[in-house]
Structure 1
């Protein structure tokens, strides 16, 4: 009997010793975590990483280990060691398989790195662990990034069903519908988000984006003006997007262009430049055009995108030679330029083209009603505004 009692006493002592040891390890882990946080806040990320690794090693199964895992990954991100941050979360998840927050954090890194397929896997795992609105919202955003708009919309609808008082589900659903070009329905969802939070300024930005996508720049500008009173940063973001989506215009021609685009019908070609005084002579002129925004250099300098022709049927007084029959002395304008040079700083195009004198040296021209047209694109890939892609001396850009 005494033998059994001794065994029991020995077992209790061993259990107590192990418990004490476990408590000590937990305490040391907590202390290492605290030291790591201090170093992290002081921007000593290398030192912080060492402390967080020590905290995990001392007590890998504790709650402190979860926090240390998060901070260790964050430290690696600060050190621009993304792969180590990813590995940290993966190792943490081997021990803490039930932690949806670690899955979400891992998904966030993948998302930021444009590794969307892996981000989706992480967010889906988070939803399986804990099905809540935040996890489903993150998954919906990843589906959006992957151009899986229908799947994204389904997630956001579930978010709304789970928490109809939050603006998040409506916001996400608006994004999904907007990506499918269902502009009116999308705006309705963003408005519902705003109804639930009047300070949800990101929803106003999205409405502005949709108006710009739909070509309604006036409405987009109104949203921008409204945001300037609430959040200047977001207003600037929207303004940049509006500019990006705005079709470029040909604004005007510079007066220092060498071609006399203001001269009227039956202008003597010889009077336009002294080099055209002789029969069969030629001279190269230029027209300098101002664009409304930055253009694509290759597109502007491709002469095939330009045309030069006589005006016809553009309104009262705008017909070439006032609509009268052309005299036999009338010379033909070139169909396209010789060269075009684009100035990125000034957003101008210098169009060089040649005018030829006729065989009898008495050629005529109507410079004010020659139409210079450009059908290229801007730096954002937008085609020209069809109402302002031509220029004529008589009337300006049209």
Structure 2
């Protein structure tokens, strides 16, 4: 998983399908990122922030009781233990530092589950930037805690009332807003989607997950590399970062999508939010509405590199239902004392299903990225339990 081809191409996917008014802004971000990523000073500052502010490295936790029940050796990469409670802080600290380097004074972001919004508000407060977060009205209602956290951190939260009032519409509104404010504002995209350079840049900022996990597995596992590497996929940033650490190994890569948002598993070629990838569409090619109990997976497509990995056969993409994800969240809580985000619970649900069905041979080693903690989903779970 190296650099994409010209204009961010991963095979036939990716590109920079941005409005003319944003092409120059994207080019400036691409040039600034390439320069910064080659600068040891920038990377050193980011590494220091990830260590001292975000709490990296995150541990690799053996899920001993659940492993005994499933007959496999399950290890959890604990992104839920980062400051703000998810992997989102890795990417946001990188982009916020880049914004400062570019002379921008303001961040804008989209958010679904609220974790990217919280991370953006956190980084803005830390670095003295303004922050505006666009969030679908439906997600505001089901993620009340994260909305409060963003506002407490000083961010403006803008409700989006168009369309499905979820992540897709929040992303569209953020891009429309960026058109008029590119001179002093950086759009902090939260996943491996959007126009070049965002899919590549976000993956590189999230690569720390896979790089850490690779070293931790080398120390913890007899074989050094797990048999399966599993992560949930909405747009796909935590999975892209995890997979980057194992793409050159024999580990099987598995991305787990929501049944109602399966862009990689069931999407068709299309263009949305500035990139060419796989999206849920009707017979007329119109983007259709996604659904997931996990707001972070409530997106009708997948990042272009995931689409490319699927075509290459390097990664496999599977789906999990809402009920399976809720059941997996409860099971992890009651066997390991960990309440996962409902997004992460999708990945665990597939591991449970595959182990029970014999798809994972007894004794297999499985690395699963626990992308976030479940505090934000307590209201949803209370209604179901």
Q: Which structure carries more strand by proportion?
A: 2
Question: Highest Rg: 1 or 2?
Answer: 1
The TM-score with structure 2 as length reference comes to: 0.22
Structure with greater contact order relative to length (CA < 8 Å, sep ≥ 6): 2
Q: Which structure carries more helix by proportion?
A: 1
The TM-score with structure 1 as length reference comes to: 0.22
